[in-house]
Amino acid sequence: MPRPERGAPQTARRGADRATEDHRRQTPPGAPLDLDPLVHEPVRLGILSALAAVPALGWVDLRRQLGLSDANLNAHARRLEQAGYVTASKSFAGRTARTEYRLTETGRRALERYLDRMAAVIRAARG
């Protein structure tokens, strides 16, 4: 696909969407390396893993726990939310905004599927 000229509007979908589609086309279903690229990315795997351990986590707690910058957490959490893997609920405590994240059932299934496939990869590598 030709690269757009500098300053030209981006019409192609961004990396994560493209990577997901490419991955689905190249990997046969059920193959040991059939890993969901949305989950496989280290920051998103960290977010999903942290949320799997508790009913909900606030934005500040999640950022501290994972050692992420504000922008990094926002970008990855938004991507997981768009995929339906997490939900974000916003509220106010006085004048302070609070965002709380929860793992959805779809997200829990995706994480479990990922962990099962990684376990199969590890078993295969160990012989």
* pLDDT for residue 9 is more than 80: no
Q: Are 62 and 22 in contact (CB under 8 A)?
A: no
Q: What is the mean pLDDT of the chain?
A: 83
* pLDDT for residue 8 is more than 50: no
pLDDT for 13 equals 40
- Cβ-count burial of 85 within 10 angstroms (0-12 exposed, 13-18 middle, 19+ buried)? buried
Residue-wise pLDDT tens digits, 37-92: 999 999 999 999 999 999 999 999 999 999 999 999 999 999 999 999 999 999 99
The mean per-residue pLDDT over the stretch 99-123 comes to 95
* Domains defined for the chain, CATH in brackets: 34-126 (1.10.10.10)
pLDDT for 21 equals 54
pLDDT for 118 equals 92
Q: Please, which pLDDT band fits residue 93 given cuts at 50, 70 and 90?
A: confident
